[in-house]
Structure 1
Amino acid sequence: MRLSPARYLPVLDWGRRYDRGALSNDLIAAVIVTIMLIPQSLAYALLAGLPPEAGIYASIAPILLYAVFGTSRALAVGPVAVVSLLTASAVGQVAEQGTAGYAVAALTLAGLSGAFLLLLGVFRLGFLANFLSHPVIAGFITASGILIATSQLKHILGVEAHGHTLIEMVGSLLAHIGQINPITVIIGGAATAFLFWVRRGLKPLLRRMGAGPLLADVATKAGPVAAVVVTTLAVWAFGLAERGVDIVGEVPQALPPLTLPGFAPDLIRQLAIPAILISIIGFVESISVAQTLAAKKRQRIDPDQELIGLGAANLGAAFTGGYPVTGGFARSVVNFDAGAETPAAGAFTAIGLAFAAVALTPLVYYLPNATLAATIVVAVLSLVDLSILRRTWDYSRADFAAVAATILLTLALGVEIGVGSGVILSIALHLIKTSKPHVAEVGLVPGSHHFRNIDRHDVATDPAILSLRIDESLYFVNARFLEDLIQDRVTDGCAVRHVILMCSAVNEIDFSALESLEAVNERLRDMRIGLHLSEVKGPVMDRLKTTHFIDHLNGQVFLSQYDAWRALSTAPPSNAAE
């Protein structure tokens, strides 16, 4: 079958139908998103431990490349808070912040992430992201939000503080509490309060004053820009930089430069695992946002092509002075709400940011770092959702344990150990849950052909028949569990003469489980008890037919459980279905 070029270049699909109406909507969305991204990009670069221009650079080429290769019409790609924190954590372990080696390591991290994402996309391995369960992701993002907000307090307080864990950060802040700069505190506190008010109160106020929805929305999104302008002017006008207020300083007035990531084997080895973790976390966040927004317009997202789009975006960041990127929740929602019709809105946003990089960077020389920190704090606190603990406790204690452990490990030991532990916990939970599958003894519902759990329903049973419904695929983890369960039920002296395994929920039987079934079959044969199967799915039966198990089966294979019951039951006819 011949594949269309649009399969790997979605731009060829939506580009053919691009019209003036879509252009108008995309331009409006681009203006709104650009206004929001200028201060946000600078702030996230600060969070990643990089020069402020790196945030803008990471928002230009990646957006353009995603517009070509991505499938989401509304996803806005660029630096995000969690990935910025992961970048700082990973790069900080191989190079000192502020050095050329730090910047090269960030480029290398983006390159490795891009290569890994491309590899997953080309080989259609997007399902690997499913190894991170939603409760674990929620716990990790909540803990990351707390860490990010705490890490920015040093800029709002005007003190020198360090650390990668919550304990280290709080300890460092307390140790430097005597160095607090009152002017910085006033700037940072006022900016934080203002941004919280803008987020929650400005739009309703403007609507009550008669402003249109578009104007109110643009004004709300421009809140961080207003904070940047006012605090920058205040620092410049009153000479606050000479009074201890940390400022951004000189930012290169240029388009993104052509850069090269590092290729040293030691550097690649040190960053390989963090790059994989960043890729998985970024992809999970991105695909969740993309699918949510696409569903609202009945559009389709191809997860494997999304991997290619995000991989290309990260490679673009690696060669244009950026650092790892992904699809951001806040910017994507703004892009969608502003009316973006196609990925061209992202391309127009990139053009706007390129203009800002060339023409507006001198204006941020006196921008206080406290304002950027306030922007980050307000943005990330929306990620903190401690209610996930209560919800998982009420629903599943195992999921609660995973969430709680992920939050505690991330806060206590750092983001890399936290997310790594999350992956291990997700897999461990799956193995634990499936190691003891739900197996119900079933009986016939009178007057029907249906079989239900004897502990939940009033059903007909036959002492000579043990009917077990297996509610899980059989594989090496749970094979012995089923073997032991059957052995316990057919003890000496019992009246059972037939064991029927109802396999309607069994999607696969691996080789270990097959060997267990063979052992059960031989053991029951010795006990003169028949082993029968019912409702075996076609693919499972196809696999079983390639073995000798069916030929040596001490019983029969029935199309339905009712057929098995009717053929083997000695119960009075009044107990069976009419």
Structure 2
Amino acid sequence: MLNKQNVLAYNRTLFTRDVIAGITLFVMLIPQGMAYAMLAGLPPVMGLYAATIPLFIYALFASSKHLSIGPVAITSLLVFSGVSMVAEPGTGDYISIVIVLALLVGAIQFLLGVTKLGFIVKFIPHSVMNGYTSAAAIVIGLSQFKHLLGIQLGNYLQVQYLFLDMFRNVQQINFITVFIGIASICALIILKKMVPKLPGALFVVIISILFVSAFNLERNGVQIVGDVPQGFPQFALPTMTMQTVQVLVPMAFIIALLGFMESLAIGKAVAKEEQYKINPNQELRALGLANMLGSLFQSFPVNGSFSRTAVNHQSGGATQMTSVITGVFVIITLFFFTSLFYYLPNAVLAAIIIVAVYKLIDIKEMKHLFTVNRFEGWIWVATFVVTLFVGIQWGIIIGALFTLILIVKKSAEPSIVELGYVKQENTFRNIDVYTNAVTSEEATIIRIDANIHFANISVIEEKVKNLLKDRDKTKWLIIDMSGVNDVDTVSIDTLEAMIHFYKNQGITILFASMKFSIRDMVNKADWDEKFQEQENHLPLDQLLKEKGIQIENPQSNDSGMWDFQI
């Protein structure tokens, strides 16, 4: 964020670094911005518009020194997915609605930042984001085949329909376009490996423009960008109706959250490496203002870019002045050089998109999740499949809902283990894991490793019932509460009923290691008066000693006890 301290600390060395990084970003952003605008169903020039005002505004208010914002692939696809349902891509109505969407995205982000609600993105887990991104990358790649093959396709974003439409229109293939597209992909990959410092995308753009213009390939059916409007984007208030807003709000909310998550992830990664911290809510406000004010100058939704931020960092960028310098060069391009893009083939822009997104497909992470935690692995698969076959806008929603369902299911099935004494370790362990753990006929000890609430208290009640049904000699049921951090009113009432019920059966229920927060809650239910014996903070071993409860040694031929008295 621009403040007195940052201004005073700025010097010629930092400025030199920022100029080099800013020019490097500009070279990278020009072809990417135009490509991502095309992906969003917009005229390519709008990718340049989105790289002007938003960059300046973000630079003024951001806490990240290195995050590079602008058009990105996933957001562009989401824009296309949402707006193409209500207007024909490329039309005036479509462009107007996209600008309204940018305003709504910015407003949502700004409000979340002002109200400090940025934490809600934590409810979208890594498994959902990774599965969603992997599937979205495939959809993005397939959606560009119409430009890569030179054929007309419908506005489908489900892979099965994309494939069907391609097969139906295979006779339309323009082989010159295919050659340009494949050659561009190969060139981008080879240049990245062989000459990583060369701006491959810009190089391919220049060569393709020269190639198409030299041979007049547009006359042979090669689709080109054509006329690109010259000059700075005009200021205009987005025109909207309440009906339009109602249709766009759900998609705007998804774009706002996903854009922020992507921006925050890369911003934090670089900040950690550079040993400074970024403020999530400040980032939300900065992104929100960038999108809101950008929409007044014909920008579509923008957020942080992984690839451009990495390049910014590697190029030595030190402050957000890099964004300002990048934006200035984009404006110069808009005023003086847009005519140079007339012969730019759409196939080259498609190639840039495909090469940029293929590395987002992360099947290795799915395998890793299944290896470590099948629960997260299935969340990844569900999100991936829904995004591919149902729709890009549904993937993240279904993934998050699936996560919520599995979390609720897991929460409703708490871990309850019976404990026994392990002499070698002088502690109590799970008898299912430690076969040498000793139990007592008179005292059954269990540990609950979950918060207790209305959804799982009946499971706990049933588990206790099953444990005690064949134990006629049991006099004590000890419940270790060390793994419990919260209880609700229903649970407290049920525990009270259990205390009374088992007391009538000749069994006393005791609680060990009850945390202060739990004791405070049960005392509000008058346990300090009704159940003084149960309201207990003592650790398990001390509680057993205090009550004189002994654990028998089944290996002994006599009725002796362990060396210590518990």
TM > 0.5: yes
On the 8 A contact 2:59/2:323 being kept in 1, the answer is: yes
Shifted more, 180-189 versus 111-120: the winner is 111-120
- How far 1:244 sits from its partner (Å)? 0.8
Q: 2:310: which partner in 1?
A: 333
Q: 1:106 to 1:489 in 2, by over 3 A?
A: same
Question: Is the aligned partner of 1:399 residue 2:376?
Answer: yes
SS in 1 for 2:379: helix
> Residue 320 of structure 1 aligns to which amino acid in structure 2?
F
1:319-371 C-alpha deviation (Å, 9 max, x unpaired): 22111111111111111111111222222222222222222211101111000
Matches within 5 A, 1:160-179: 160-162=152-154, 163-179=156-172
Residue from 552, 562, 566 that aligns with 1:574: 562
Question: Is the aligned partner of 1:485 residue 2:473?
Answer: no
Deviation above 4 Å: which 4+ runs of structure 1?
A: 9-13
On the 8 A contact 2:545/2:565 being kept in 1, the answer is: no
- How far 1:11 sits from its partner (Å)? 4.5
- How far 1:114 sits from its partner (Å)? 1.3
Q: 1:463 to 1:24 in 2, by over 3 A?
A: farther
SS in 1 for 2:529: coil
- How far 1:20 sits from its partner (Å)? 2.3
Q: What TM-score comes out, normalization by structure 1 length?
A: 0.91
On the 8 A contact 2:291/2:301 being kept in 1, the answer is: yes
SS in 2 for 1:467: strand
Q: 2:557: which partner in 1?
A: none
Matches within 5 A, 1:422-571: 422-446=399-423, 450-457=427-434, 458-491=436-469, 493-553=471-531, 555-568=534-547, 569-571=549-551
Shifted more, 524-533 versus 361-370: the winner is 524-533
Q: 2:273: which partner in 1?
A: 296
5+ long unaligned stretches in structure 1 = 1-8, 204-216
- The RMSD of aligned alpha carbons is 2.0
Matches within 5 A, 1:339-358: 339-358=316-335
The number of aligned residues is 554
Residue from 170, 188, 200 that aligns with 1:223: 200
SS in 2 for 1:495: coil
Q: 1:556 to 1:170 in 2, by over 3 A?
A: same
On the 8 A contact 1:464/1:498 being kept in 2, the answer is: yes
- How far 1:265 sits from its partner (Å)? 0.9
Shifted more, 551-560 versus 186-195: the winner is 551-560
> Residue 379 of structure 1 aligns to which amino acid in structure 2?
A
Structure 2 Cα separation of the partners of residues 561 and 257 of structure 1: 73
Structure 2 Cα separation of the partners of residues 450 and 124 of structure 1: 44
On the 8 A contact 1:444/1:576 being kept in 2, the answer is: no
Structure 1 Cα separation of the partners of residues 508 and 203 of structure 2: 79
Q: 1:302 to 1:363 in 2, by over 3 A?
A: same
SS in 1 for 2:530: coil
5+ long unaligned stretches in structure 2 = 552-559
- How far 1:558 sits from its partner (Å)? 2.8
> Residue 376 of structure 1 aligns to which amino acid in structure 2?
I
Q: 1:540 to 1:305 in 2, by over 3 A?
A: farther
Q: 2:182: which partner in 1?
A: 189
SS in 2 for 1:358: helix
Shifted more, 152-161 versus 69-78: the winner is 69-78
On the 8 A contact 1:460/1:576 being kept in 2, the answer is: no
Structure 2 Cα separation of the partners of residues 313 and 246 of structure 1: 33
SS in 1 for 2:19: helix
Structure 1 Cα separation of the partners of residues 55 and 511 of structure 2: 55
Q: 1:34 to 1:534 in 2, by over 3 A?
A: same
Shifted more, 68-77 versus 435-444: the winner is 435-444
Q: 1:280 to 1:244 in 2, by over 3 A?
A: same
On the 8 A contact 1:57/1:256 being kept in 2, the answer is: yes
Q: What TM-score comes out, normalization by structure 2 length?
A: 0.93
Identity %: 32
- How far 1:151 sits from its partner (Å)? 0.5
On the 8 A contact 1:449/1:577 being kept in 2, the answer is: no
Shifted more, 43-52 versus 158-167: the winner is 158-167
SS in 2 for 1:533: strand
Structure 1 Cα separation of the partners of residues 146 and 564 of structure 2: 75
Shifted more, 40-49 versus 443-452: the winner is 443-452
1:159-214 C-alpha deviation (Å, 9 max, x unpaired): 001212111111111111101111111111111110111222323xxxxxxxxxxx
1:453-492 C-alpha deviation (Å, 9 max, x unpaired): 2222333433322222222222333222222222222226
- How far 1:86 sits from its partner (Å)? 0.5
Question: Is the aligned partner of 1:73 residue 2:79?
Answer: no
Residue from 341, 358, 364 that aligns with 1:364: 341
On the 8 A contact 2:527/2:535 being kept in 1, the answer is: no
- How far 1:577 sits from its partner (Å)? 7.4
> Residue 90 of structure 1 aligns to which amino acid in structure 2?
G
SS in 2 for 1:255: coil
Structure 2 Cα separation of the partners of residues 361 and 496 of structure 1: 86
Question: Is the aligned partner of 1:322 residue 2:299?
Answer: yes
Structure 1 Cα separation of the partners of residues 510 and 106 of structure 2: 52
Structure 2 Cα separation of the partners of residues 118 and 190 of structure 1: 43
> Residue 241 of structure 2 aligns to which amino acid in structure 1?
A
Structure 1 Cα separation of the partners of residues 322 and 522 of structure 2: 53
Residue from 8, 21, 31 that aligns with 1:29: 21
Structure 1 Cα separation of the partners of residues 474 and 111 of structure 2: 54
- How far 1:547 sits from its partner (Å)? 2.4
Q: 1:13 to 1:476 in 2, by over 3 A?
A: farther
On the 8 A contact 2:83/2:98 being kept in 1, the answer is: yes
On the 8 A contact 1:78/1:326 being kept in 2, the answer is: yes
